[in-house]
Structure 1
Amino acid sequence: MHSRKQKTLTFILLTVATILTLTPILYVVYLALSAEKVGDTSWFHPENFITAWHQGHFSEYMWNSFRIAVVVVFIALVLSIMSGYALAVLKPRGEKIIFFLFLLGLMIPTEAIILPLYYDFRSLGLTDTIWAVALPQIAQSLAFGTFWMRAFFRNFNPGIIEAARIDGAGNLRIMYQVLIPLAIPALVTLVLLTFMWTWNDFLIPLIMSPSGIVMTAPLGLAFFQGQYTQGSTLLAAGAVWVALPMVIIYFCLQRFFISGMVDGAVKG
């Protein structure tokens, strides 16, 4: 009986949480499909998405966001795997100090370092380039990625690694042929989180591209509100465009994402 009450309470809480989560999302979609003209009482205007796409130049902005996200995810993923493997398996001298230095990257807010970075990049001629936006995000993602992959590599059975060493496998072979295939859920989770953080970032593109040459989708959405429309209909349609890639990627990879989060909660 006690277990049945727990299940009922859990179901009610999850239902309420789902409603609270989906209500604002569904309301934005509702606004995006509403009539733009005042006095038009009809509903379902999918042409609003086409209008917002062209007026807001979202094709250009989303392409910039996609390029930056791919660069950040790829470089941060490779470096996170190598640093996580080194700290968890190789355990060099001063491993704990090195790990805490990586954790320091999670503690320092972007607002504290963005202006010095801007002047450094400007002196190097990197502002208004994809690298000015990508490099700070790579550094931030690497801090979390190292923490994430170290936690997973530390909890693998040492016997697997020792067996591979007996068979003559070196560190690179152990990492790429033995451990990485077993860590696919963790890697997919890291990719999704890094892509999401990079895609949604607002401050770094705003500061690092003052002329707007590398304007990203969230930044373009903010400017779209002030420059092209005063109403909420086209703005909601633009918001749907900006959020759509993340929704598609999550639904395609949700099985691995949930598995990676559960394993991380158990192992980390």
Structure 2
Amino acid sequence: MRVSRREVLLGRALLVVLMAVTVVPFLSLLVTALHPSGTYPEGISWPADPQWGNFADAFTAANMPALLLSSALIVVGVVPASLVLGTMAGFAFGHLRMPGHRAGFLLFVVGLTLPFEGILTPLYFQIRDMGLLNTRWAIILPLIGLFMPFSVLWMRAFFVGMPDDLSEAARIDGATTWQLFWRVHVPIAMPALSSLAILLFLWTWNQFLLAIVLVDDPAKRTMAGALGAFQGRFGTDIPLLCAGSLLIMTPTLVVFLIFQRRFVAALLQGSVKG
């Protein structure tokens, strides 16, 4: 089926519009971050004297070395646990299809509809009763639970398309359920696992709400918690806030750019599986 020139031009124009919508906010952040500290820039206007030192000032003001370490520890606590639990549950729901798997799967689907804001108050009191307030566990444990519905659905979508002949051949060779999972299905599911790991990393690294509500010590929050350092008693330092936002986004952008091919490959593999 041939595509007309008009459709090609329309598609390219749409891509340009979408790219502009994506790039303009980052450009606005960069331009604002280069204005003198304490000013209130209006619109997207390049400053006469760009203050590149704002990035160093923001790095120091937010105590970002401590927050980098804290975010790394939280990511290490959340992402591997979510991957293991989500992959095992997705395998059980998508391939083993144990009794009651439909009802259990519906519970995870319902879990996707629960917003963080709606459960924040009961979560606060539960974490308080557990004695975990103002610790990194107050962020790690809730995130593992909140990420579980998406992780299970993501991995189930992959395992449900795996051919039964592959499992039957492994069973004939004497493979147990664990060997079938670990030695046969997990290696094949690496594209889905790696893309899920990228998403979980991005969501954990950028987690802001749980960090500021459940943890009082800024040094135990995620990187996004550093944004509160630019809000003073009498106002907010907008240029430093924008500089800090760009610094916080840099690791996530680097990770996505490095692994974007693997992420796109996982999405395309899921779209053509059948």
TM-score of the pair, normalised by structure 1 = 0.91
Counterpart Cα distance in 2 of 1:207 and 1:18: 34
Counterpart Cα distance in 2 of 1:168 and 1:140: 37
Aligned residues: 266
Counterpart Cα distance in 1 of 2:65 and 2:253: 17
Counterpart Cα distance in 2 of 1:208 and 1:35: 34
Q: Which residue of 1 aligns with 2:97?
A: 91
* Structure 2: stretches of 5+ with no match in the other structure: 40-46
Could you tell which deviates more after superposition, 19-28 or 244-253? 19-28
Q: Which residue of 2 aligns with 1:184?
A: 190
Counterpart Cα distance in 2 of 1:86 and 1:227: 52
Q: 1:231 to 1:124 in 2, by over 3 A?
A: closer
Could you tell which deviates more after superposition, 193-202 or 245-254? 193-202
* Identity between Structure 1 and Structure 2 (%): 35
Could you tell which deviates more after superposition, 165-174 or 242-251? 165-174
Q: Which amino acid aligns with 2:48?
A: T
Could you tell which deviates more after superposition, 6-15 or 165-174? 165-174
Counterpart Cα distance in 1 of 2:245 and 2:195: 24
The question of whether the paired residues in 2 share the 8 Å contact of 1:80 and 1:146 is answered with yes
The question of whether the paired residues in 2 share the 8 Å contact of 1:53 and 1:238 is answered with yes
Q: Does 1:260 align with 2:266?
A: yes
The question of whether the paired residues in 2 share the 8 Å contact of 1:184 and 1:256 is answered with no
The question of whether the paired residues in 1 share the 8 Å contact of 2:230 and 2:240 is answered with no
Q: 1:115 to 1:36 in 2, by over 3 A?
A: closer
The question of whether the paired residues in 2 share the 8 Å contact of 1:128 and 1:212 is answered with no
Q: Which residue of 2 aligns with 1:10?
A: 11
The question of whether the paired residues in 2 share the 8 Å contact of 1:62 and 1:242 is answered with no
Please point out which of 42, 47, 58 is paired with 2:49.
42
Please point out which of 228, 250, 258 is paired with 2:256.
250
Q: Which residue of 1 aligns with 2:44?
A: none
Counterpart Cα distance in 2 of 1:8 and 1:30: 31
Q: Which amino acid aligns with 1:41?
A: A
Q: Does 1:134 align with 2:145?
A: no
Q: Which amino acid aligns with 2:49?
A: S
Q: Does 1:233 align with 2:259?
A: no
RMSD (CA atoms): 2.2
The question of whether the paired residues in 2 share the 8 Å contact of 1:72 and 1:198 is answered with yes
Q: Secondary structure at the match of 1:133?
A: helix
Please point out which of 142, 148, 159 is paired with 2:154.
148
Structure-to-structure mapping, 1:63-74, within 5 angstroms: 63-74=69-80
Q: Which amino acid aligns with 2:20?
A: I
Larger % of helix: which? 1
- 1:33 is displaced (CA, Å) by 3.5
Q: Which residue of 1 aligns with 2:43?
A: none
Q: Does 1:30 align with 2:18?
A: no
Q: Which amino acid aligns with 1:62?
A: L
Q: 1:36 to 1:224 in 2, by over 3 A?
A: closer
Counterpart Cα distance in 1 of 2:23 and 2:234: 28
TM-score of the pair, normalised by structure 2 = 0.89
Q: Which residue of 1 aligns with 2:179?
A: 173
The question of whether the paired residues in 2 share the 8 Å contact of 1:129 and 1:213 is answered with no
Q: Does 1:19 align with 2:23?
A: no
Counterpart Cα distance in 2 of 1:51 and 1:10: 43
Structure-to-structure mapping, 1:50-69, within 5 angstroms: 50-69=56-75
